[in-house]
Amino acid sequence: MTVSVDDLTKRFGPRDGAAAVEGASFSAREGEITTLLGPSGSGKSTLLRLIAGLEEPDSGKVLIAGKDVTRVSPGKRNVGFVFQSYALFRHLSVFENVAFGMRVRRRPEPEVRARVEELLKLVQLSGTSARFPSQLSGGQRQRIALARALATDPAVLLLDEPFGALDARVRVELRQWLLEFQKKTKVTTVLVTHDQEEAFELSEHVVLLSEGKVVQTGTPHDLYDRPKTPFVASFLGGANVLRGSVRFGMAEVGSMSVEAPAGTAEGASVHAFVRPHDIRLVKAEPEEDSVSVARVERLTRIGAQVKVSLELADGEPMTVQMSKVEVDSIGIEAGDRVLVDLREAKVFVEDYSI
């Protein structure tokens, strides 16, 4: 494994204060992009800075290329770091920015020149070597930062929210560009983002963090379809949350019942997460008088998608996402009564320790 961290803990401030990173362990995959995903304050950036050596852990280990580098200075860890703010040297030209890592290592001039030109070609900014960072656009600056980080052939590339400061259109373009770039260079990459879409698009290996802890690791598919905790379920896709308790082996949530996890104690409090597009609706017959009947409050059409807002029998709201074709084939309208089918609900037994 190229990069791994083992039981890493970092606290800022007093020793008994909340930990920014607590007992985090994960391994990046060789030659692939691993994303650290989490909401702001989840410790993902701190974890990346711990790998780079920009922060010192209170306990735990950082391993790069099989060696324990926990007490090694950042410059000797053989990592390339790209900051959200680009952090280009504003007083140096693009050429000298990219050359910096080789200059401080006192590499011979012809080697520096050849390497910088090669890298500028790689990031498709060959014509900019004499310019200053202030003369480049945000996306171009980020690519120069990438070239600079790669100049010393790092074992791993660490990207801290690399597209965070860019506008939406450029962000999507650069994401695609980075994906192709990484396929071409095969450099092991760890990328931090708070954007689920970005994480899922860029990598097959996602490490999800919450409150300084690694909560789940896996492919986007694993995380999305088999969330291990309520946090994972709610963070990935704005799910409907229904609370209730277990009776006769079934979780009774709201006014409906779904299958409870095997072995759940009778009477245990549970909550169920249902994604808006995992709900089926069937038009209810006028005489139908089931607890599963809900009333359609509103239909919001967004292109080919329709957001259906429901009011359940117990008065709780629920959001359903359907395709326009589906809605039209069922033929529902505001004010209609519908039957709600919750087969895809994820049920979690409530954790009273939280």
**What are the residues binding other proteins (CB under 8 A)?**
52-54, 73-77, 79-81, 83, 85, 87-92, 100-101, 103-105, 117, 120, 124-132, 134-137, 140, 145, 148-149, 151-152
Complex with other proteins: residue 121 or 324, whichever CB lies closer: 121
Q: Cβ 16 to other proteins, closest distance in Å?
A: 17
C-alpha to C-alpha distance for 135 and 101, rounded to whole angstroms: 22
Residues in the chain: 354
Complex with other proteins: residue 147 or 349, whichever CB lies closer: 147
Beta strands in 194-316 (DSSP E): 205-210, 213-218, 240-247, 250-253, 256-259, 269-274, 280-283, 293-302, 305-311
Complex with other proteins: residue 117 or 297, whichever CB lies closer: 117
Q: Cβ 105 to other proteins, closest distance in Å?
A: 6
Complex with other proteins: residue 163 or 200, whichever CB lies closer: 163
User: Is there a contact between 261 and 246 (Cβ–Cβ < 8 Å)?
Assistant: no
Q: Cβ 157 to other proteins, closest distance in Å?
A: 11
Q: Cβ 30 to other proteins, closest distance in Å?
A: 21
Distances (CA, A) of 233 to 24, 225, 239, 345: 20, 9, 7, 10
- Which residues have CB under 8 Å from 223's CB, separation 6+? 206, 208, 216, 232, 236
Complex with other proteins: residue 90 or 247, whichever CB lies closer: 90
The separation between CA 229 and the C-alpha centre of its own chain, rounded to angstroms, equals 16
Identify the bridge partners of residue 34 per DSSP, sorted by sequence position.
190, 205
Q: Cβ 84 to other proteins, closest distance in Å?
A: 9
C-alpha to C-alpha distance for 98 and 83, rounded to whole angstroms: 14
Complex with other proteins: residue 76 or 315, whichever CB lies closer: 76
Q: Cβ 91 to other proteins, closest distance in Å?
A: 4
